[in-house]
Structure 1
Amino acid sequence: MTTMETSTPSPAGPIAELVARARAAQRIYETWSQEQVDMAVTAAGWAIIEPTRNRELAELAVADTGVGNVEDKVAKNYRKTFGLLRDLKGARSVGVIADHPARGIIEIARPVGVVCAITPSTNPGATPANKIINALKGRNAVIVAPSPKGWSTAARLIEFIHAQFDRIGAPRDLVQLLPSPVNKQSTAELMRLCDLVVATGSQANVRAAYASGTPAFGVGAGNVAGIVDETADPALAADRIVRSKTFDNATSCSSENSLVVVDAARPALIAALEARGAVMLDGPQKAALQALMWPEGKLSPAVIGKSATQIAERAAEQDAAGREAWRAIAARKPRILMVAEDGVGHEHPYSGEKLSPVLAIYAARDFEDAASIVARIYAYEGAGHSVGLHSAKPERALTLGLTLPVSRVIVDQAHCIATGGSFDNGLPFSLSMGCGTWGKNNFSDNMNYRHYLNITRVSRPIPEQMPGEEEIFGAFFAQHGAA
């Protein structure tokens, strides 16, 4: 019996037909050797990394979604895909992948079947590519369900992948796309018919994936905070923060939304940020920007993925009283707009995720106070994701890891570059970061190819290893007796 025959639906409509074709292709693909699978993985990677195709996808993504900027999307498409290919090179995903003689256990990799990959408009090229490659590594078929705005980019990406598949003799139906127009009904049906759902994007999409009745991996909400303490080098910290916060116009869930700065570090850090193009807004400007960003209590598409300069220009159009000041700010071509904040919660929207180069600055008395402020922010939004730390005291990273509700502590790095894996850290390359139970997720890893595998374990008998009661209960009995 092949992998998913028992749950194969009878074609009864366009979505079911899509899944049926994927199952047929996957049954062929699951017979491929590790070498053949790795060739398919490499082909899919080359489909997006090749410079001309990469740029076309980046330009199409910005043109269709209005989010981010082309050069950063080119860099993201390349780095995230190339890094993933590095991670997968030599990794076993076919047949026996591990043997533990002392435990009598052999591990065998098996496909999960047909994967439904839900992807966001913020990364309409890089995220589908990442999920497709990981799914292929596990000998799965994959059907991409993109956001409506990202559909044409995903469609073009899959055209490129199919062309590479033709070169190596891989079935095109291993990688397919949910037909346009994408809507909640078609996505829900696809989730129901597939064998695994991997959802990246809005929390509404993640909740729908969890409620689909199909096993699902989803990611938590972003809203990263970074701490800068009194021991940090202000110039280096500012370099990293600006690089992270401006990359692709802060569309990443890993971009800092708040900086919590210890009082002793604040003057030098703010000066360093301003020297690198950040602008601190005054009280009236902060209020005017809030009205632009959250006109009805919900973050406006008018600012999502736009540059700080574009946001300042739009604020000038809307804020009649402050128009000249906004025009002066826009003329400086700011890279980041900063606002001083001290509150957290719905009444303080700057404490939440902004998906734009707007940064809330919190003041903290000391490191302990800074950690407490971050905990308050995450109690409102962003629990489980990650926290940044700029400090010369390595023990403080361990303190954050032991006490804050985060799956990652990113130390002295450009946060949005580092969190999803980088060539100078040990995290797996990924565009889907699990946030653990803090973020209402069932995993806390950077999502990787092992999440796209079933693993069968063969257990053989080994010499008995049963301990005595004294070994188990001795310390307990010594302290509390054997009653």
Structure 2
Amino acid sequence: MELLDKDLSSIQEVRNLIRRASAAQKVLADYSQAQVDALVEAMARTGEANATRLAEMAVEETGFGKVQDKITKNLIASKHLAESIRSMRTIGFISEDPVKKMQEVAVPYGVVAGLVPSTNPTSTAIYKSIISIKAGNAVIISPHPSALKCISETVRVLRETLQSLGAPADLINVMSQPTLEGTSELMKNSGTGIILATGGSAMVKAAYSSGNPALGVGPGNVPAFIERTADIKKAVSYVLMSKTFDNGTVCASEQHVVTEHVIADQVKAEMIAQGCYFLNEVETAKIERVIMGPKGGLNAKIVGKPAVEIARMGGLEIPADTRVLVAEQGRECVGKQYPFSWEKLSPLLGFYRTTDAHEACELCLELLNYEGAGHSLAIHTQNDDLVREFALKKPVSRLVVNTPSTHGAVGATTGLPPAFTLGCGSVGGSATSDNVTPLHLFNKRYVAYGIREPQAPSLAQAAANQSSATEMDIEAITRMVIERLKAL
């Protein structure tokens, strides 16, 4: 009975939050672009000022990742995000074409349901709050239960910031009793305008089947192809920088290194020189058992943990300065029975050798189609023609070139918009292939003036049409008379 009470209480809390958010959003609807921008800038400053404290809380509560890297993620979600959207028009009339005599008006969704994972809790909460309000919406955060404290504290400081500027605090809120039933109510409630779903595949699918508009993110399973023309030392450093960032908890981090036989030994030697430990066959089998959880999926105990700790889980003692565990995989080792071909959310990499770029292209395709279709792929090469070939054939929404995949995909080292919701397109079951920004959180109302007079048929054309119709009638009557005479 206690569980039932908690579930019912969670559902009622969500309904109350939606009513409060709707009322707050009605106030925001009367704000000008300048007033909304002032809120966003203040929220970004708050995120930046609290970046370290919130990162420490996140690591302490969840046990995932590294404090320094979570600080970086908090800064991307606040300072860098605000910089990238500063000039974006999102309120009222947002564009006008004097030639076509058309205008566009931004129409907010109203209330955004923001699902926030435990792997990137505080940064995702900051990011979703800022883009929601920038687009004229209120937002209700559904936190992962294992990150409730740090997410709630993030929301608290953002609410205080809004209040200090005279805006309604209920523009941002968070469920205090996160349950599956409560989150389901948040997604399905008619008062919810749109869902931003960042989390497991089951939650994303639930968002898309809720009956409300949704933008979700599927799993990442990023291959990194190091091609023969690549700067091997730099390529390896980028892969390891990305893979060890927050201990691999970002879905855009590399999961596999794919390279060509002609340079494979050089790539392997460089990876070892930069802190990788290549597992032998026996050790690989032990770590595979650690990767696989009791129900056959990914073992949550390895997520965001350092390589040395994961090795100990498998009964291995490895050098203390090991950054990443690597297992060489045969060309055929892709699928459920090969855990190193999965998305591992930890400093673990599969290592594949291929004959040439064509075979590497096919292998990357297999890895993505197994898991991670629509997400991201990294390539290290000086061959721009090959980049174009990959861009045309790979089922991904982001192809990042000569940069760490994690940093490139979220917009830290590329021109992509800073984001922690990375659309996977239709191939990945997502409604967008974009890095989600405030532009995805409002509809457009079009104002269109008449610019051409309707063309009425001319008198001559009307007479010609009438004459043609008359001739057709006479011909039809004549044929009918002839047919009847023949019958006599």
For 1:433, the equivalent position in structure 2 comes to 422
Question: How far does the alpha carbon of each residue in 1:168-203 deviate from its partner, in whole angstroms, 9 at most, with x for none?
Answer: 1111000000122x1110001111221111100101
CA distance in 2, matches of 1:244, 1:288: 25
User: What stretches of structure 1 move > 6 A for 4+ residues in a row?
Assistant: none
Counterpart amino acid of residue 412 in structure 1: N
For 1:8, the equivalent position in structure 2 comes to none
Question: How far does the alpha carbon of each residue in 1:284-312 deviate from its partner, in whole angstroms, 9 at most, with x for none?
Answer: 00000011121432211221110111112
Counterpart amino acid of residue 95 in structure 2: A
Paired residue secondary structure (1:387): strand
Question: How far does the alpha carbon of each residue in 1:186-236 deviate from its partner, in whole angstroms, 9 at most, with x for none?
Answer: 001111221111100101110111111111111121111110111001111
- Kept in 2, the 8 Å contact 1:47–1:157? The answer is no
Question: How far does the alpha carbon of each residue in 1:372-414 deviate from its partner, in whole angstroms, 9 at most, with x for none?
Answer: 0011111211101111000010111111110111111100001
Q: Pick the aligned partner of 2:235 from 215, 234, 237.
A: 237
Counterpart amino acid of residue 414 in structure 2: N
1:125 aligns with 2:122: yes
1:413 aligns with 2:436: no
CA distance in 2, matches of 1:86, 1:100: 26
Counterpart amino acid of residue 279 in structure 2: L
Paired residue secondary structure (1:254): coil
1:362 aligns with 2:352: yes
Counterpart amino acid of residue 310 in structure 2: I
For 1:153, the equivalent position in structure 2 comes to 150
CA distance in 2, matches of 1:140, 1:408: 28
Q: Pick the aligned partner of 1:335 from 320, 323, 332.
A: 323
Q: Pick the aligned partner of 1:75 from 72, 76, 81.
A: 72
- Kept in 1, the 8 Å contact 2:221–2:251? The answer is yes
For 2:379, the equivalent position in structure 1 comes to 389
Counterpart amino acid of residue 427 in structure 1: L
Q: How does 1:248-397 map to 2 (within 5 A)?
A: 248-296=246-294, 297-316=296-315, 326-327=316-317, 329=318, 331-342=319-330, 343-397=333-387
Q: How does 1:183-194 map to 2 (within 5 A)?
A: 183-193=179-189, 194=192
- Displacement of 1:100 in angstroms is 2.0
Q: How does 1:44-59 map to 2 (within 5 A)?
A: 44-50=43-49, 53-59=50-56
- Displacement of 1:94 in angstroms is 1.1
Paired residue secondary structure (2:444): strand
Counterpart amino acid of residue 451 in structure 1: H
Counterpart amino acid of residue 91 in structure 1: M
CA distance in 2, matches of 1:13, 1:126: 27
CA distance in 1, matches of 2:239, 2:309: 20
CA distance in 2, matches of 1:464, 1:237: 61
State the structure with more CA Rg: 2
CA distance in 2, matches of 1:26, 1:295: 43
Q: How does 1:23-102 map to 2 (within 5 A)?
A: 23-50=22-49, 53-102=50-99
Counterpart amino acid of residue 325 in structure 2: L
- Kept in 2, the 8 Å contact 1:143–1:177? The answer is yes
Counterpart amino acid of residue 21 in structure 1: R
- Displacement of 1:464 in angstroms is 7.5
- Kept in 2, the 8 Å contact 1:375–1:404? The answer is yes
Paired residue secondary structure (1:385): strand
Paired residue secondary structure (1:198): strand
Counterpart amino acid of residue 384 in structure 1: G
Q: Pick the aligned partner of 1:462 from 437, 443, 451.
A: 451
- Displacement of 1:332 in angstroms is 3.2
CA distance in 2, matches of 1:464, 1:399: 47
For 2:463, the equivalent position in structure 1 comes to none
TM-align CA RMSD: 1.5
CA distance in 2, matches of 1:278, 1:54: 30
Structure-2 change in CA distance of 1:381 and 1:359 (3 Å): same
Between Structure 1 and Structure 2, how many residues are aligned?
Answer: 440
Moved more, 266-275 or 229-238: 266-275
For 2:434, the equivalent position in structure 1 comes to 445
- Displacement of 1:355 in angstroms is 0.6
